[in-house]
Structure 1
Amino acid sequence: MSTSISASFTHWLRSNRGFLVLLLCFGVFRTAIADWNPVPSGSMRPTIVEGDVVLVNRLAYDLKLPLTGIAVARLGEPQRGDIVTFESPQDGTRLIKRLVALPGDVVAMREGVLFMNGVAAEYADVHRLLDPVAPGVNLPATRATERSAGSERSVQYLDGMPNRRSFGPVEVPAGHFYMLGDSRDNSGDSRYFGPVPRALLIARAEAVLVSADITAHWAPRWERFVSLLH
């Protein structure tokens, strides 16, 4: 009986070896080179919204052994303004946030204004809107272009939901990076779990591949398809 099962399994392997090799190559590609990540939360609004599927570059910072998190070579250095996927140092959850401070930087926030090494960020294009934070729920929000330490991004603040708009100053330790969500009042980030060690960085987000509106029966957002992130 066991001989028959072994023979059947061997036959199955031979018959499907091409498919199995394809699966292995696909796994290697997604864990070592590039990947695509659905975004379920609004912590990076307005840059990334719920329902976006984001292309990430796993070779941006480190070469890692396929199917593991073991880095074998450094390929690049994280920069202020990068959008990064990483494992939360708090519970290992995969997150996507904005890298705002490098090792040695002193970062702080005062009433929503970001300070980098004692210099306040500049805010331009300030405007008001209603932001859909959940199906059927819109909150008044303020959006602006934030310029700090040579990088810029769109950020937003939600009325009535002040989320640690003041903290620090915090000096980022060697080998660590400080992360914030672009939606400053709707993000669990380094304000809660501290700077993120380089070993927990996974990839740099490069573009939105496809997007669907989760509040409108997953209707495609054609205008967000294949759009670069910055």
Structure 2
Amino acid sequence: MKGFIRANKGFLLFMLLFGVFRTAVADWNPIPSASMRPNLLEGDVVFVNRLAFNVKVPLTDHVVTHTGEPQRGDVVTFSSPVDGTRLIKRLVGVPGDVVEMRDERLVINGVEAAYEKPQQVMEPIGAGQVAALRVSESIDGHARRIQLIPQAVTGARNFGPVVVPSGQYLMLGDNRDNSADSRVIGFVPRHLLIGRAERLLVSADILANWTPRFERFGMSLRD
């Protein structure tokens, strides 16, 4: 073993530093599900800035210091407070916000989001397709496209009002009827935030033939 270490110490040091970099500074996150459609697609790979909110001890959730405040509208990666699974959602409520949803319409601190006329599309579900609606949602100076699936059977179209506790955040998927977000897993404590997704690195159509989606390469995820 000592001989192996001596012979490969340069490579081992590189792997150690690379591991520290990925767990403390920056990372990439493949998108495996449809919960953030239409903005993030299965097969997208996003760049995650791990220093956007916290500096952590590598390989842990122990926060050394805060580096910035999470903002409404950020696309955030975090560990699920239920089982530790890494998730990516949109941050909708910050500490102290009063958030509710009325028939899919988001309300923050008493202000209802504005919605444009929806566009109907066909959305892949399993081996088939289902009709979906895509619409621009604007609130608190932020606008993003969201997706609704009227045929989906879900009880999550109404909730609240709820007050976001101190040190915690409310997350929603942009694909509102197909996302296990804070309506399922609850609020997300700050120490479980991993980082802010800044932009797409690469993308391929994994649902079809893995064709590269070059038009998505380098796309910004910031407003």
CA separation in 2, counterparts of 1:209 and 1:121? 30
1:162 to partner: Cα distance: 4.7
- Would you say 1:41 and 2:33 are equivalent positions? yes
Question: 1:124: how far off?
Answer: 1.9
| Pairing 1:167–2:159 present | yes
Aligned 1:124-163 pairs, distance under 5 A: 124-134=116-126, 136-163=127-154
Contact kept, 8 Å, 1:122 with 1:147, in 2: the verdict is yes
Q: How does 1:1-230 map to 2 (within 5 A)?
A: 9-134=1-126, 136-163=127-154, 164-230=156-222
Amino acid across the alignment from 1:140: A
Q: Secondary structure at the match of 2:179?
A: coil
Q: What SS does the corresponding residue of 1:227 show, helix, strand or coil?
A: coil
Tell me, yes or no, if the aligned pair for 1:144 and 1:155 is still in contact at 8 Å.
yes
Q: Counterparts of 2:12 and 2:47 in 1: how far apart (Å)?
A: 25
Distance in 1, Cα, partners of 2:191 & 2:12: 30
Structure 1 unpaired stretches of 5+? 1-8
TM-score by length of 2: 0.96
In the alignment, the residues of structure 2 paired with residue 67 and residue 200 of structure 1 have an alpha-carbon distance, to the nearest angstrom, of 12
Aligned residues: 221
Q: Work out the CA distance in 2 between the residues paired with 1:106 and 1:194.
A: 14
Gaps of 5+ in 2: none
C-alpha RMSD of the superposition: 1.1
CA distance in 2, matches of 1:48, 1:91: 23
Counterpart-to-counterpart distance in 2, 1:138 and 1:221: 21
Query: Which aligned segments of 4 or more residues in structure 1 are displaced greater than 4 angstroms?
Result: none
1:139 shift after superposition: 1.1
Is 1:85–1:204's contact at 8 Å kept on the other side of the alignment?
yes
TM-score normalised by L of structure 1? 0.93
Amino acid corresponding to residue 57 of structure 1 in structure 2: N
CA contact 2:42–2:207 (8 Å) conserved in 1: no
Q: Tell me by how many angstroms 1:125 deviates.
A: 4.9
The Cα offsets for residues 14-38 of structure 1, whole Å up to 9 and x where unpaired, read as 1110000100010011000000111
Larger deviation: 174-183 or 158-167?
A: 158-167
- Do the aligned partners of 1:83 and 1:204 also contact (CA within 8 Å) in 2? yes
Alignment-mate amino acid for residue 219 of structure 2: S
Give me the whole-angstrom Cα distance separating, in 1, the residues matched to 2:100 and 2:140: 13
Give, in whole Å, the separation in 1 of the partners of 2:18 and 2:88: 23
